[in-house]
A and B are shown apart, each in its own frame.
Chain A
Amino acid sequence: MKDLTIRNLSKTYFDPYAGTNVTAVHDVSLKVEQGEFVCIVGPSGCGKTTILNMIAGFIPHTGGEILVGGRPVKGPGPDRGVVFQSFALFPWRTVLENVAFGPKMRGVRKVEREKIAHEFLALAKLTEAAGRYPNELSGGMQQRVGVVRALANEPDVLLMDEPFASVDAQTRMTLQEELTRIWQEKRPTVIFITHDVAEAVFLANRVVALSKGRVLEEIDVDLPRPRSWDALNDDARFKELSGRVLQLVRSA
């Protein structure tokens, strides 16, 4: 795991409908320390997914720089694991093979990579599902696979793009709790994108509020870990922090 530095990042593209250039991300700077969990929160269209796609290397940035462990990002790579809102599992691969995919690409032998995959599946309580195909699993279970598939490849940074937005509310809370548990165990460097303020505060060490492509403010979350919804639902500090972030995001 390594740190991530973003300096004066911007993204301008030509909008063929408007006929003009649009700036989706405007001069964003951000430093994420090794092992830190940072949530970027903001409304739809604030540029948060664009930032994540640039860090992942899926789209080029038009200004500034992105450094992972001091090295500039040029295209997608295994140093940055990605968890997608749409899960993006390989339907033609079993759960085990999905999780073993990253190690396989690194040339890890079959026996060894399946051992790694089993270990990570156990971490997400997915041992039973190892031999099944993604379409046989519920959305919540598919996203558990998505998370451990990214983690099993031991990326320097884990990028999560609204990963829990398409599962039901109860499952989402369970997944959030599991993610904090897994994070505490493995301590990956995480950038987590969401529009859900409570989710951001629940998960993060630090919340970055974003609006119209600019960083509004960074708020440290000093809530104790391990975190659970049972404990935090009525927690005064949690409410205070959530309230502040919500106000920031809404006022912008």
Chain B
Amino acid sequence: MRHWLSSALWFASPFAVLIVLWAVLIPYLDVNPRLFPHLTSVVEAGIEGIQDGTLIRHVGASLLRVAVGTVLALLIAIPLGVAMGVSPIVSGFLTPLFRFFSVLAGIAWIPIATLWFGYGFGAITFVIFNAVFFIVTYNTLLGVSTIPLQVRNAAASLGAGRWAMLTEVLLPGALPNIVTGIRTGLGFAWRGLIAAEMIATNVGLGYMLFVARDFYKTEVIVLGMIMIGVLWLLLDRLVLAPLERATIERWGMVQRT
């Protein structure tokens, strides 16, 4: 527990330095608030946003889109990746395709998404879906195909049928890659989300930032940027990293980073 606390403090310390510099330097240099806000006005904007519910509404909309897009993507990507990974021919054939779509940035889908779904929830969720879907499918496929043949043979000679092979060997065997895929995919999805919200909606963190610019409300812009960063850190540190630790690091299938 002490170790956890000290590492959390160590993690927070550079941010503390940055905040102190901000609080001291901006007033000292007398920076125009239209270019960069004071710390106090950002805090006030944050309190105000919570009190009148707008901040909650924007954050809620963004998180909901990420959650829906990600869950839908995982539900399809993992079974598909496993099915493809089982057959070396199918996986060899489809791998280049999935690699291509994995590196194709999520935002690149925005124009076509708005044509298909119109502005709003559908288009943005589609962008999230794509960011997660291709990477997770590709990683699942990779994970399944890297399970040693002997391990699959061992399961077969211990009496594992098709279903047991899937649930007892292929899925857990591919899990390190799947978790990596989810982490990378969500990273892309989060970036794509903000970009998409600037273009294709009227609610969400990205929208909040973009609209604030029109009114020179730099305190809202910076508040939004901080929220984007903090939410991602919380998601990664409190959900994804512990998930990785609890499973695959314990099994010795990846090295601690």
Q: Which of A80, A92, A102 contacts B173 (CB 8 A)?
A: A92
Taking the nearest CB of chain B, how far is it from the CB of A110, in angstroms?
14
Taking the nearest CB of chain A, how far is it from the CB of B134, in angstroms?
25
**Contact indicator B168/A133 (Cβ below 8 Å):** no
**Contact indicator B159/A90 (Cβ below 8 Å):** no
**Contact indicator A56/B153 (Cβ below 8 Å):** yes
Q: Which residues of the partner chain B approach A93 to less than 8 Å between Cβ atoms? A: 172
Given A56-B157, A101-B160, A135-B253, 10 further pairs, Cβ under 8 A: A76-B156, A76-B157, A77-B157, A80-B157, A84-B153, A86-B150, A92-B175, A92-B251, A105-B160, A135-B251
Interface SS, A side: loop
**In chain A between 63 and 121, which residues have their CB closer than 8 angstroms to a CB of chain B?**
75-78, 80-82, 84, 86, 88-93, 101-102, 105-106
**Contact indicator B158/A153 (Cβ below 8 Å):** yes
Q: Does B148 contact A (CB under 8 A)?
A: yes
**Contact indicator B253/A90 (Cβ below 8 Å):** no
**Contact indicator A101/B157 (Cβ below 8 Å):** no
Q: Which residues of the partner chain B approach A133 to less than 8 Å between Cβ atoms? A: 250-252
Q: Does B164 contact A (CB under 8 A)?
A: yes
**In chain B between 121 and 167, which residues have their CB closer than 8 angstroms to a CB of chain A?**
148, 150-151, 153-161, 164
Complexed CA–CA distance, A133 and B252 (Å)? 8
**Contact indicator A135/B157 (Cβ below 8 Å):** no
Taking the nearest CB of chain A, how far is it from the CB of B148, in angstroms?
7
Interface residues of B (CB under 8 A from A): 148, 150-151, 153-161, 164, 168-169, 172-173, 175, 247-248, 250-253
Taking the nearest CB of chain B, how far is it from the CB of A69, in angstroms?
16
**Chain A residue at minimum C-beta to C-beta distance from B172:** A92
Complexed CA–CA distance, A86 and B150 (Å)? 8
**Contact indicator A135/B252 (Cβ below 8 Å):** yes
Complexed CA–CA distance, A199 and B100 (Å)? 52
Complexed CA–CA distance, A18 and B212 (Å)? 70
CB-based A-B contact count at 8 angstroms:
78
* Chain A count of residues within 8 A CB distance of the other chain: 29
**Contact indicator A105/B158 (Cβ below 8 Å):** yes
Complexed CA–CA distance, A150 and B159 (Å)? 11
Q: Which of B157, B175, B250 contacts A81 (CB 8 A)?
A: B157
The 19 sampled A-B contact pairs (Cβ below 8 Å) are: A56-B153, A58-B156, A75-B156, A78-B157, A81-B157, A82-B153, A82-B157, A84-B150, A84-B154, A89-B151, A92-B175, A92-B253, A93-B172, A101-B160, A102-B158, A102-B159, A135-B251, A150-B157, A150-B158
Q: Does A136 contact B (CB under 8 A)?
A: yes
**Chain B residue at minimum C-beta to C-beta distance from A92:** B172
Complexed CA–CA distance, A101 and B173 (Å)? 15
Q: Which of B153, B155, B161, B248 contacts A101 (CB 8 A)?
A: B155
**Contact indicator A58/B252 (Cβ below 8 Å):** no
**Contact indicator A92/B247 (Cβ below 8 Å):** yes
Q: Does A149 contact B (CB under 8 A)?
A: yes
**Contact indicator B148/A88 (Cβ below 8 Å):** yes
Q: Which of B156, B158, B250, B253 contacts A149 (CB 8 A)?
A: B158
Complexed CA–CA distance, A106 and B148 (Å)? 23
**Chain B residue at minimum C-beta to C-beta distance from A106:** B159
Taking the nearest CB of chain B, how far is it from the CB of A100, in angstroms?
10
**Contact indicator A136/B252 (Cβ below 8 Å):** yes
Taking the nearest CB of chain B, how far is it from the CB of A177, in angstroms?
25
Q: A135-B252, A136-B252 are in contact. Are A88 and B158 (CB under 8 A)?
A: no
Taking the nearest CB of chain A, how far is it from the CB of B171, in angstroms?
9
Q: A86-B150, A101-B168 are in contact. Are A91 and B157 (CB under 8 A)?
A: no
Complexed CA–CA distance, A58 and B247 (Å)? 30
Complexed CA–CA distance, A82 and B172 (Å)? 21
**Contact indicator A78/B251 (Cβ below 8 Å):** no
Q: Which residues of the partner chain B approach A149 to less than 8 Å between Cβ atoms? A: 154, 158
Q: Which residues of the partner chain B approach A153 to less than 8 Å between Cβ atoms? A: 158-159
Q: Which residues of the partner chain B approach A56 to less than 8 Å between Cβ atoms? A: 153, 157
